[in-house]
A and B are shown apart, each in its own frame.
Chain A
Amino acid sequence: MQFPNIENMKKILSFILSLVLLPFLGFAQYDGEFVKPKNGRFLLQNATIVTVTNGTIQNGSILLANGKIQALGQQVDAGDAEVIDCTGLFIYPGLIDGGSRLGLVEVGSLAETQDYAEIGQVTPNMEALVAVNPNSVAIPVTRVSGVTTTLTMPSGGLFPGTAALINLNGYTPDQMYAGFKGVVMNFPSSARRSTWDRRSDDDIKKEFEKAQETLNEIWEKATTYHRLKTAGAALEYYPEMEHLSKVVAGELPLLVEVNAATDILKAIEWIASKEVKAILTGVAEGWRVAEQIAAAKLPVVTGPMLSIPTRQSDRYDAAYTNPGKMAKAGVKVAIRANDAENTRNLPFNAGFAAAYGMGKEEALKAVTIYPAEIFGVADRLGSLEVGKDATLLVSTGDPFETRTQIRHVFIDGYRVPMSNRHIKLYQEFLERSPGLEKN
């Protein structure tokens, strides 16, 4: 009789052990397994690649490595990369939302979770990036839609703070930071805040004029501060002016929130007179003064399209057609959902813009390359090109269509889990156990 050697014994033993443990290992899948964002080398193979800037590639592949797009084309060598078959699927650059409150609020009505509006009219030094909660439940809910990047903005007074562009993956604000900041300014408004703003026409006019005066005074202060600072004067600690002086110096752009047509014209004038680098945001009535915006060569971030017309006499589709009309006049238009937890509706806003005059190609650019250019990050984001960040989505079709499924999302080279609380609840409750009867 041949005695089994020790190596074989080990093999047999581990086989028996695995048989015993198998049920437990199986159970472990239900209890405790967590899919983490995964970094590595990936080859997305055999897809239709919509590059945005260089046309569409059929049967193409993309190699992702070190957080970047390393190769892209019809012949890409996989090397040691993990291959993900994308036959029949489409690859688009990650969608960029031009303005939201994502990460700055968890539950809309609860003051304890509202971190977007500080006390005071002039608080430009309030940094949105500081308050971004990387673990907000809304972040994974948003990113599985292919919205990978958003400009998260403070709101409130005249200068409510500094907005930051963030990628929707990472455990610290710095890991999420996508390379752009801008100081938010709410340009004095002659419009009513909402349909239950009951101020008289006279009061609105007075408040508008007063706000305009205040704005000019503050700006005068900021330029004076900047002048003294560059002249080397010893200045008292004045964080608000210190921050605004960066805008005066052109280090930070102004994000000028303005919506009513007459206000837009005044804002254009104001921006020109102060020679400040600016981006117009909101711009709900942009279509009324599109030529003037184009002539001023100011980029625009507008949205949501899914909102009612600003005037009762307007055509029912005024908000749907607004971005298309501005784009036709020659304005560079980016789109925002202007939401928090439902920033995932960005592609649908773009879809409405496309249907109502903007066209699919321009609308796609309005959520990819245009915001990237407007925010000065087009070297990293906004299109599928070699050398750019590995930030993209893989879908079953046009990401603007509701019937399309988003299959994979990559952010900064990380393959993010296609799961979130909404999906987990779906998995738990589609077929509830117990159902109606317990037994």
Chain B
Amino acid sequence: MKKILQAFLISLLPMSWSVAQTPTGSVLIKNAHVLTVTNGDLEGTDVLVENGIIRRIGKNLSAPASVEVIEANGMYLMPGIIDAHSHVALDAVNEATAPITSEVKMADVVNPYDIGLYRALAGGVTISHAMHGSANAIGGQNITLKHRYGSGNPEDLFMKEAPRTIKFALGENPTRVHGRGNGIQPRTRMGVDAVIRNGFNEAIQYKKAWEAYNNALKVRGATPVPPKYDERLETLADILDGKIIIHCHSYRADEIYGLINTCREFGITNIVFSHVNEGFKVAPELAEYTMGASVFADWWAYKFEVYYSTAYNAAILTRNNVITSINSDSGELIRHLYHEAGKAQRYGELNDQETLALITINPAKQLGIADKVGSIEVGKQADLVLFNEHPLSIYAIPQMTFVDGVKYFDINADDNDMRLRVSASEVVEPIFLKEHEHRCMHGVDFFFTNFGRSLFNHSH
């Protein structure tokens, strides 16, 4: 028996080995204008990467002969851009069958062949937070991806160091899908709050039942009956225990404030609000009680709950000391987050450092990975992007993008067709006039009145 077990374990070894090892690279980038984000800008500086980690930052660095040297000639090097809200590389987005679906995992539906990953890399994005949609008050568990485009194994894209996160959603989407669509709670913002509270309270009961069972086991000779295992409530209990970061789709100040209060009541501090169009109205509360807000640069008026928005949201939040990031929620926007961040200079005159933080160190904080990525610092993972001009200039074009020191995008080596896989049944390649994938309401669009026929609709 022991031998069989041993043989089984040994047979597992190469598998776990291959899973654990994603490619890392070494590279010396010379003479760059380094935008560290956390330690200011360094002109004419070299960055040495060894085996995927930033080893040295300084002048006149040298590397072993085997290491590729890139002459940056004063081009701008910044940390890889991080998108805290994305649906790229997902085969499904919404499990819209119940107001709470915390047992669902986006890790199960990662599609490593999505061309959207390459397009994101070409826009300097190295990490995206692949999220469940916004149909449910408590949705599925998200997965943080590193854009290691080229592997056919979904797990190669997982950022294994990243903590678990889960999607929550407030307002029009869950009330439309469940209340108006299916005739069940929630149909109102009162109902959304109740659904979440009920979930937390059930999880507390569930935890107590297991505690009672485990305590009973300690009594000699006792044969207690274990409670029924429930993945949904296990996950909610993990939220209450602070093991999972909530990323909550939200728009209006009242619903944001309401969930802040609910979380405080249940002792939850790991919460980030996403979209948060009216976050600026409760900026002091967001600063005091949450891990911040991840916003759109300028989207508004596409539905009623975003009618009273302002493009100055990111600036107001930043000035109120809210950890603020700018996300895409879109396979289109993810390609130019540096430009989206730049809008915080038009609308609120943030300085360069504050603005770059919106797409680097701040989203890293919100995903719980700020000790690994999000800035150019010795010891951090070498996710880097090189721009021909300052990345906040409208004329900036990403030149190269590195993940773990491996170059995944090089504008000079970019082929026209970067697909990894082509459908065998495809005779004529389809032409699409508009991208409608990669969004919050993907899969439940029939709840909208417009049926996506127009070229103008956003439905987030």
Q: Which residues from 34 to 89 on chain A have a C-beta closer than 8 Å to any C-beta of chain B?
A: none
Select the residue from B118, B393, B431 with max chain A CB neighbours within 10 A.
B431
| Contact B394 A348, beta carbon cutoff 8 Å | yes
Question: Can you name the residue of chain A whose Cβ is closest to the Cβ of B414?
Answer: A315
Given the contacts A312-B419, A423-B312, A436-B284, A193 and B303 also touching, CB distance less than 8 Å: no
Q: How distant is the Cα of A77 from the Cα of B431 in the complex, in angstroms?
A: 58
Q: Which residues of B contact A341 (CB under 8 A)?
A: 300-302
- What residues of chain B lie closer than 8 Å to A214, measured between beta carbons? none
Q: Could you tell me the distance between the alpha carbons of A280 and B284 in the complex, rounded to whole angstroms?
A: 50
> When chains A and B are docked, how far (Å) is the Cα of A311 from the Cα of B115?
10
| Docked complex Cα distance between A403 and B356 (Å) | 13
Instruction: Please give, as numbers and ranges, the residues of chain B lying within 8 Å of A216 by CB-CB distance.
Output: none
The residues of B that contact A106 with a CB separation of less than 8 Å are 301, 307
CA distance A423 to B313 in the complex (A): 10
Contact between A402 and B122, CB atoms less than 8 A apart: no
User: Within 8 Å of chain B (Cβ to Cβ): is A415?
Assistant: no
CB-based contact B310/A425 at 8 Å: yes
Chain A 144-199 residues near chain B, CB threshold 8 A: 145, 155, 189-197
CB distance from B330 to the nearest CB of A (A): 9
The one of B288, B319, B397, B417 in contact with A436, judged by C-beta atoms closer than 8 angstroms, is B288
In the complex, the answer to whether A426 meets B304 with C-beta atoms within 8 Å is no
**Chain B nearest Cβ from A401, distance in angstroms:** 5
Question: Complex formed: what's the CA distance from A285 to B331 in Å?
Answer: 19
User: In whole angstroms, what is the CA distance A137 to B287 when docked?
Assistant: 30
Contacting pair A426 B312 (CB below 8 A) = yes
B436 part of interface (Cβ distance < 8 Å)? yes
With A and B bound together, what is the CA distance between A91 and B224 in angstroms?
82
Knowing A402-B394, A432-B284, the reply to whether A194 touches B452 (Cβ < 8 A) is yes
A192 close to B431 (CB less than 8 A): yes
Least Cβ–Cβ distance between A201 and chain B, in angstroms = 6
Q: Is A226 interfacial (CB-CB < 8 Å)?
A: no
Q: How far is the CA of A106 from the CA of B316 in the complex (A)?
A: 25
Q: Which residues of A contact B428 (CB under 8 A)?
A: 201
Q: B394 to chain A: which residues have CB within 8 Å? A: 348, 351-352, 354-355, 398, 400-402
- The reply to whether the CB of B453 lies closer than 8 angstroms to some CB of chain A is yes
Could you tell me the distance between the alpha carbons of A260 and B429 in the complex, rounded to whole angstroms? 12
Say yes or no: A260 contacts B437, CB within 8 Å.
no
B416 touches A313 (CB 8 A): yes
Interface of A is mostly: loop
| Nearest A residue (CB) for B348 | A426
CA distance A144 to B434 in the complex (A): 28
For A403, the chain B residues whose CB sits under 8 A away are 342, 345-346, 392
Which chain A residues (372-425) contact chain B, with CB distance < 8 Å? Answer: 398, 400-405, 421-423, 425
CA–CA, A138 and B394, complex, Å: 24
Q: Is the C-beta of A314 less than 8 angstroms from some C-beta in chain B?
A: yes
A344 at the interface (CB under 8 A from B): yes
Which residues 243-293 of B sit at the A interface, judged by CB distance below 8 A?
Answer: 280-281, 283-285, 287-288
A314 to B115, CA, bound (A): 10
- Selected from A108, A282, A351, the residue in CB contact (under 8 A) with B302 is A108
Contact yes or no, B458 A260, CB < 8 A: no
A191 to B434, CA, bound (A): 10
Q: Which residues of B contact A110 (CB under 8 A)?
A: 303-304
Minimal beta-carbon separation of B44 from chain A (angstroms): 23
- Is the beta-carbon distance between B332 and A193 smaller than 8 angstroms? no
Q: Please tell me if B84 contacts chain A, counting CB pairs below 8 Å.
A: no
A123 within 8 A of B: no
- Using Cβ atoms and an 8 Å threshold, which residues of chain B touch A435? 284
A307 to B445 Cα, complex, angstroms: 20
Q: How many residues of B contact A (CB 8 A)?
A: 75
Cα–Cα distance between A284 and B287 once the two chains are bound (Å): 43
Asked, given contacts A109-B449, A194-B433, A432-B283, whether A405 binds B346 with beta carbons under 8 Å apart, the answer is: yes
CA of A190 to CA of B429 in the docked complex: distance in angstroms? 12
Minimal beta-carbon separation of B230 from chain A (angstroms): 34
- Decide if B343 is an interface residue (CB 8 Å cutoff): yes
Compute how far the CA of A138 lies from the CA of B311 in the bound complex, rounded to whole angstroms.
12
Selected from B123, B311, B435, B455, the residue in CB contact (under 8 A) with A422 is: B311
Determine the distance from Cα of A344 to Cα of B264 in the docked complex, in whole angstroms.
39
Restricting to A99-138, which residues have a CB under 8 Å from any CB of B?
101, 105-111, 117, 137-138
Q: A294 at interface (Cβ–Cβ under 8 A)?
A: no
Please, which residues of chain B bring their CB within 8 A of the CB of A109?
A: 302-304, 448-450, 457, 459
Contact indicator A316/B418 (Cβ below 8 Å): yes
Which residues of the other chain, A, contact B434 by a CB distance below 8 angstroms? 193-195, 307
A426-B284 in contact (CB<8A):
no
| Residue A429 is within 8 A (CB to CB) of chain B in the complex | yes
B417: which A residues are within 8 A, CB to CB?
313-314
Residues of A within 8 A of B457 (CB): 108-109
CB distance from A425 to the nearest CB of B (A): 4
- Minimal beta-carbon separation of B255 from chain A (angstroms): 17
Tell me if A338 is interfacial: C-beta within 8 Å of chain B: yes
Cβ contacts under 8 Å, B312 to chain A: 422-423, 425-426, 430
* Interface hits, A314-370 → B, CB 8 Å: 314-317, 338-342, 344-345, 348, 351-352, 354-356, 360
Does B454 lie within 8 Å of A117, measured CB to CB? yes
User: Is B229 among interface residues, defined by CB-CB distance under 8 A?
Assistant: no
Contacts of B335 in A (CB 8 A): 308, 316
Interface contact A402-B345, CB-CB below 8 Å? yes
* Smallest CB gap from A263: residue in B: B431
Identify which of A108, A117, A285, A430 contacts B316 (C-beta below 8 A). Answer: A430
Residue numbers in A under 8 Å from B427 (CB-CB): 201
B280-A191 in contact (CB<8A) = no
Return A117 CB to nearest CB of chain B, in Å: 7
Residues A308 and B285 in contact, CB atoms below 8 Å apart: no
Residues of B within 8 A of A245 (CB): none
B336 near A306: Cβ-Cβ < 8 Å: yes
- Who on chain B is nearest to A426 by CB? B312
Q: Give the most central of A101, A189, A192: most B CB within 10 Å.
A: A192
A259 within 8 A of partner (CB): yes
CA distance A27 to B342 in the complex (A): 36
Which residues of the partner chain B approach A314 to less than 8 Å between Cβ atoms?
Answer: 416-417
Q: Closest Cβ of chain B: how far from A354's Cβ, in Å?
A: 7
Given A201-B428, A307-B434, A317-B122, A426–B315 Cβ distance below 8 Å?
yes
Name which residue of chain A comes closest to B312, CB basis. Answer: A426
> Do residues B452 and A196 form an inter-chain contact, with CB atoms below 8 A?
yes
Selected from A197, A315, A342, the residue in CB contact (under 8 A) with B298 is A342
Q: Is A212 an interface residue (CB 8 A)?
A: no
The answer to whether B105 has its CB under 8 Å from any CB of chain A is no
Q: Give 23 CB contacts A-B under 8 Å.
A: A108-B301, A108-B302, A109-B459, A145-B346, A194-B432, A194-B435, A196-B452, A201-B427, A308-B335, A311-B429, A312-B419, A315-B416, A348-B394, A352-B394, A398-B394, A400-B394, A402-B345, A402-B394, A403-B345, A405-B346, A426-B280, A426-B348, A435-B284
The 4 A-B residue pairs whose C-beta atoms are closest, nearest first, are A351-B394, A402-B342, A426-B312, A108-B302
Extra contacts besides A429-B283, A430-B319 (16): CB < 8 Å = A106-B301, A145-B346, A189-B433, A192-B433, A196-B445, A306-B332, A307-B332, A307-B434, A311-B429, A311-B430, A316-B122, A316-B123, A354-B394, A425-B280, A425-B310, A429-B310
